[in-house]
Amino acid sequence: MSSERGVNGLGGYLGVFVLGAAAGVTIGLLTAPHSGRETRERLKRAGLDLEKTVEHGTGAIRKAGARAVKAGQAAYEHVRDEVG
C-alpha cells in the first residue's frame, strides 16, 4: 500500500482549483499598482466572487452525487429483480 497522498475525486480537484485561483487573485491584486483603499475594495470583491464560485461548485457536486446515488439504486434494484 502506498503512503502517497493525492487529490481524490472531483471535490479534491475543485478545492485545489479554488485555492490556486484565490492565491493567484490575491498575488495579482497585492502586486498591482493601486492605492491601498482600491486594493482592499478589489480584494473584497474578489472574495465575494470566490464565495459565489465555491457555493456554485459545491451545489453542482451535490447534484452530481445525488444523480449517482439514484443511478446506483436503480442498478441495484434491476439486478435484485433479475436475480430474485
Let me know if residue 28 belongs to a domain. Answer: yes
Domain that holds residue 34: 18-83
Let me know if residue 1 belongs to a domain. Answer: no
| 30 CB-near residues (< 8 Å, 6+ apart) | 39
pTM score: 0.41
Where helices occur in the chain by DSSP H, the ranges are 9-30, 36-83
Let me know if residue 54 belongs to a domain. Answer: yes
Residue-wise pLDDT tens for the chain (84 aa)?
A: 444 444 456 667 777 888 888 888 788 777 877 787 887 888 788 888 888 888 877 888 888 888 999 999 999 998 888 886
Let me know if residue 30 belongs to a domain. Answer: yes
